[in-house]
Amino acid sequence: MSGAQATASEPVIQLSGVRKTYRSGAIEFEALRGIDLDIHRGEYVAVMGPSGSGKSTLMNVLGCLDVVTAGSYRLAGADVEELDEGELARIRNREIGFVFQGFNLLPSLSAWRNVELPLVYAGVAKDERRERAALALERVGLGDKLDNKPGELSGGQQQRVAVARALVGEPTMILADEPTGNLDSVSSADVLALFQELHEAGRTIVLITHELEVAEHAGRVVKVRDGLLQHDEAVAA
């Protein structure tokens, strides 16, 4: 854990000896080959690596979208690897806010309806959902676009809606997978500035990217290659 920020508290994310093997017929492919990684509350971490490096698998594991083959993963004090589907759904709902490369907004729903989705599955009452969704959209600068459908918004705006959706449930960590991959440079800067603001407000952010200039925004860069952590350093924010 060289270069990790020294924090006295227990890390919110704790990976130790994590391995992930995919099996396709007789062929086995080891995507992760023993990863140890601690991330503390309030950190802004960029995970970098070329395609095929295992960074997407790492993101799936961190996002509780996939379970590890070996090793352990603790998220906010809970052991994730032994959880069943329902419990994983609950963890994803409460602890993680996803931002995807392709935005993944539901085109038939208005902005605030998209943003409220995590709260729907958390069982929050409708009035409160609308209020919190509106606040989250204001937070990302889209307070005037509550009722617009994704098709009526620009790519940058759509990704900001997705960020609002990731924020709305007050999750432990925001997990962003190539959030600027589908955006032009202006919108990219826009979204990255938004992450910066959130980081300054104390959010824990894990950002997965293959672009150095994106990773440079983070306070800490973790490089993955061939299923192993290659490099882990704090950079000047």
Partner 1 sequence: MNWSETLATSWSAVRSHTLRSLLTVLGILIGIAAVILTVGLGLGTQKDVSAQIDSLGSNLLIVSPGSSTDASGMRGGFGTSTTLTQADAEALTSKVNAPDIAAVAPEKTSSLALEANDTNWTTQVTGTTVSWADVRARDLEYGAFFTQDDVDQAARVVVLGSETATELFGRTNVVGQTVEIDGTAFEIVGVLASAGSDSSSNLDDVAVAPISTVANVLVGGTSASSVSTIYVQAASADQLAAAYQEAQTVLLNRHGITQADAADFTISSQEALVETATSIYQTLTILLTGIAALSLLVGGIGVMNIMLVSVTERTREIGLRKALGAPPWAIRRQFLTEAAILGLAGGVLGALLGALGTFVLPAIIGSSVVLSGAAVAGALAVSIAIGIGFGVYPATRAARLAPIDALRTE
Site residues for partner 1 per CB under 8 A: 60, 63, 65-66, 85-86, 89-90, 92-94, 98, 100, 102, 104, 106, 108, 117-118, 120-123, 126, 165, 169
- Shortest distance in whole angstroms from residue 86 CB to partner 1: 5
- Shortest distance in whole angstroms from residue 196 CB to partner 1: 24
Tokens at 99, concatenated: 């931002």
Q: Count of CB atoms within 10 A of residue 122's CB?
A: 15
Using the minimum distance from each CB to partner 1, give the nearer residue, 66 or 226: 66
Using the minimum distance from each CB to partner 1, give the nearer residue, 104 or 148: 104
- Shortest distance in whole angstroms from residue 1 CB to partner 1: 27
- Shortest distance in whole angstroms from residue 121 CB to partner 1: 4
Tokens at 178, concatenated: 């190539």
Q: How many residues does the chain have?
A: 237
Which ranges of the chain does DSSP label H, i.e. alpha helix? 55-62, 85-95, 111-115, 117-122, 126-139, 155-168, 185-200, 212-215
Using the minimum distance from each CB to partner 1, give the nearer residue, 66 or 216: 66
Tokens at 165, concatenated: 């959706």
Using the minimum distance from each CB to partner 1, give the nearer residue, 7 or 108: 108
- Shortest distance in whole angstroms from residue 106 CB to partner 1: 6
Using the minimum distance from each CB to partner 1, give the nearer residue, 105 or 221: 105
- Shortest distance in whole angstroms from residue 174 CB to partner 1: 13
The Cα–Cα gap between 96 and 184 comes to 26
Strand partners, 223: 48, 231
33 touches 227 (CB < 8 A)? yes
Within 8 A by CB and 6+ apart from 103, the residues are 150, 155, 158, 159, 161, 162, 182
Tokens at 51, concatenated: 């395609």
Using the minimum distance from each CB to partner 1, give the nearer residue, 90 or 225: 90
